[in-house]
Chain A
């Protein structure tokens, strides 16, 4: 069964900083990786996905996937106080539903 680990557990950055979040997974056959944002008391909301090795950019978000090292990262450029939330990495394969990591709690200070 897929194991998903995220680091760091929490992160405090000043407004405008570049944020880097990490996620490692256990199965190289993993089909897709999604990043979600979760605000307190709310359900997770999808931000960006990646399926192939390499990187993908959407707005201020860039995601990098390296299947050989079983690692994916999310980078947020020019972070804003509104980006403060918990970021969840979700990994699935052909046969199994997505499994989530424990999350990284991001605080962006004005």
Chain B
């Protein structure tokens, strides 16, 4: 079936550094999402993106976070600067429409030291 890819699978960085998480969504999908999951805890919504714009973001989507998908390439989540509490697994998802099935990537485990 359709697959969402995430690069890298694991990233370790020092607090205060910038990090970019990359997502290759399903090719004909229109809606893109980032979720944050701290180990063993709930999947928390961060942001969704459609037609080149942020449609909705949660309180977890701090000012240090940004998303973009330049020219239909990777859908990226950038955190600048990182904080210790940003350590988590970040899941990217895409869907063909609102309320449709979401296809999730395998996640990027971010460790901030």
Question: In the complex the two chains form, is B105's CB within 8 Å of A97's CB?
Answer: no
Asked whether A101 and B42 contact (CB < 8 A) given A46-B101, A92-B99, the answer is yes
Question: In the complex the two chains form, is A42's CB within 8 Å of B101's CB?
Answer: no
For the residues of A in contact with B, the DSSP-based class is loop
Contact of A97 among B4, B48, B103, B106 (CB under 8 A): B48
B interface, CB within 8 angstroms of A: 4, 33, 35, 41-45, 48, 55-56, 91, 93, 98-99, 101-107
Query: Chain A, interface size: which category?
Result: 20 to 34
Contact of A90 among B4, B91, B102, B106 (CB under 8 A): B102
Question: Is A31 an interface position by the 8 A CB rule?
Answer: yes
Question: In the complex the two chains form, is A46's CB within 8 Å of B102's CB?
Answer: yes
Q: Give the chain B neighbours of A36 by CB distance below 8 A.
A: 102, 104
Q: Give the chain A neighbours of B42 by CB distance below 8 A.
A: 100-103
Q: Give the chain B neighbours of A71 by CB distance below 8 A.
A: none
Closest to A47 in B: B101
